[in-house]
Amino acid sequence: MNKKIILQDLGLKDYKETWDLQENFFKKIVDIKIKNRRGNYDLLTPNYFLFVSHPHVYTLGKSGDISNLLLNEEQLKSKGATFYKINRGGDITYHGPGQIVGYPILDLDNFFTDIHKYLRLLETTIIKTLADYGLKATTSEGETGVWLGVDTPFARKICALGVRASRWVTMHGFALNVNTDLGYFDNIIPCGIRGKSVTSLRVELNKNYIDENEVKEKISKHFLDLFNAEFINKVDT
């Protein structure tokens, strides 16, 4: 089993270009798995982890409801935003500058074959990261992602989660609001959940700016600890 993960920090990158890159890595892993099975080979499958931020974009999961997007095409253009219907689970969410997005493209056969455990570990990665900043975050029963103030009138979501998995290979991932312009969430019903607000690390800590590289370092540490893995910086396209 290969527990080494190729790490790439893409900086600010177009959503569709990043999606295509994910699909490329996903297909590469699946193709090796098919070759192993058909030819009785034992080739190692690679794993990838992409850090990225996107220009303003709304994405709708395969089970999502388009009515949760409150903008028409002209209004999207006026806000400098794009829209994609994509192949992850979940409903609608927003990505934009100041948000840390993580896309683990893993062969879970290298780790464990349990998609629910995988989702819980992604949530735990973010919960532990936020604890490093003195915030008590939790999950919310029946809802995905990471929340603050659950079971209070002030419940608010700080991290969205949506993944795709096939043949135990994952793609898509999490989106943590750090310095995000939360006004863009006013244009959707986030994750299709009415009556719940969103927040960011900057808002919760009442700071003008949070060092995003520091947050990524903390995410990386907790992710690697939980998955008993290591990052390598080999560039493999």
Instruction: Answer whether residue 237 is part of any domain.
Output: no
Instruction: Answer whether residue 30 is part of any domain.
Output: yes
pLDDT at 192: 60
Q: Name the CA dihedral angle for 199, 224, 228, 158, rounded to a multiple of 10 degrees.
A: 0
205 and 108 Cβ atoms separated by less than 8 Å: no
Place of tokens 């806000």: 79
pLDDT at 15: 96
Q: Residue 53: CB partners within 8 Å, gap ≥ 6?
A: 11, 12, 13, 95, 96, 97, 98, 99, 100, 101, 212
191 among known catalytic residues: yes
Q: Which of 92, 165, 191, 210 is catalytic?
A: 191
pLDDT at 191: 61
- The three-state (H, E, C) secondary structure of 1-59, written as one string: CCCEEEEEEEEECCHHHHHHHHHHHHHHHHHHHHHHHHHCCCCCCCCEEEEEECCCEEE
CATH number for the domain including 212? 3.30.930.10
Instruction: Answer whether residue 38 is part of any domain.
Output: yes
Query: What residues are paired with 89 via a beta bridge?
Result: none
CA distance 231 to 226: 13
Instruction: Answer whether residue 152 is part of any domain.
Output: yes
How many domains does the chain fold into? 1
Instruction: Answer whether residue 210 is part of any domain.
Output: yes
**Residue 193 token pair:** 């959940």
pLDDT at 193: 65
∠ CA 81-52-15 to the nearest 5 degrees?
35
pLDDT tens, per residue, the chain with 237 residues: 999 999 999 999 999 999 999 999 999 999 999 999 999 899 999 999 999 999 999 999 888 889 999 999 999 999 999 999 998 877 888 999 999 999 999 999 999 999 999 999 999 999 999 999 999 999 999 888 999 999 899 999 999 999 999 999 999 999 999 999 999 999 988 666 666 799 999 999 999 999 999 999 999 999 999 999 999 985 544
Range of the domain at 36: 4-232
Q: Where are the beta strands (DSSP E) in the chain?
A: 4-12, 48-53, 57-60, 82-85, 92-95, 99-105, 137-140, 143-148, 156-166, 169-177, 197-198, 230-232
Instruction: Answer whether residue 62 is part of any domain.
Output: yes
